[in-house]
Amino acid sequence: MPFDVMEYFRQETLPHIWCPGCGNGIILRDFAVALEKLNYPREEVVIVSGIGCSSRAAGYLNFDTVHTTHGRALPFATGIKMANPALKVFVIMGDGDAAAIGGNHLIHACRRNIDLTAIVFNNSIYGMTGGQFSPLTPRDKKATTAPYGMIEQSFDLCRLVEAAGATFVGRATTYHNQLLTQLIVDGAKHQGFSLIEAVTHCPTSYGRRNGLANPSEMVRWQKDNAVWITKVKSGEVTPSGEQFTIGELHKHDAPEFTAMYMEVIKRAKCQA
């Protein structure tokens, strides 16, 4: 079904602030396509973001949107969803935003299994501040604060949130953008906390320092290193080196938090 993606945007706020060659616009378009497929009433959709390049995405979208404080998008979103569970709440974060300053909120949102759909734009770097390493910067890569190479171990964000209790976990890239759209749709339909890691490319702050100055080279790197989870599970491929899995990585059913709280309200009213 053809549709005009631009109707999802506050066109007066465009052009966006992202650098030429940035992958964030691809994710944003995939998100808009996912919203079209989901076809929720527009007034029921709320988009919450943190701070960083990725989090500017919320302001471009024509819904109720909140650009919160650094790392805190999930607790803001938790408050909104809890206050009005009828709202469809999406959360946009960056890798530093979600996994460093917001890491504690991330694991607790997973543990609560509150019905939020989180999309983490993972560009492996702090882009807005000019290229400092994040908890998702791979070992040995360079950043302005790791000029001799990253010595810390990076998180596998998807494994982290699965262990913390997230009930839907997926990963795609800006190359695999149809998969990304599908994961957002499936994550939103899933009752509970969903996290979709969107591997994106930052030629300006990450690529240039790591031998991938050209955006198309960075997208090719994604294509070459992404391994479908189905092929891993079937034993066809074993990821090695820089390779990472994509697809729907984990899903299970568990009680959803706001639904459980409605039961608390029933119990409290009976006792009152």
In contact, 254 and 173? CB cutoff 8 Å? no
In contact, 59 and 10? CB cutoff 8 Å? yes
The region, left, alpha or beta by phi > 0 then psi within -120 to 50, assigned to residue 133 is: beta
Residue 102 beta carbon to other proteins: minimum distance, rounded to whole angstroms: 10
Residue 108 in the binding site for other proteins (CB under 8 A): yes
Residue 9 in the binding site for other proteins (CB under 8 A): no
Applying CB under 8 A, the span of 8-16, 19-27, 161-169, 197-205 interacting with other proteins comes to 8-16
Applying CB under 8 A, the span of 28-36, 72-80, 202-210, 218-226 interacting with other proteins comes to 72-80
Residue 79 in the binding site for other proteins (CB under 8 A): yes
Residue 68 in the binding site for other proteins (CB under 8 A): yes
Minimum CB distance to other proteins smaller for 112 or for 142? 112
Element (H, E) at 161: helix 157-164
Residue 113 in the binding site for other proteins (CB under 8 A): no
Residues 6+ apart with CB under 8 A from 225: 241, 242, 243, 244
Interface residue with other proteins, options 16, 29, 72, 251 (CB under 8 A): 72
DSSP 146: B
Q: Which residues pair with 169 in a beta bridge?
A: 195, 250
DSSP three-state, residue 244: strand
Residues making contact with other proteins (CB under 8 A): 10, 12-13, 42-44, 46, 48, 58-59, 62-69, 72, 74-84, 86-87, 104-105, 108, 261, 264-265, 267-269, 271-272
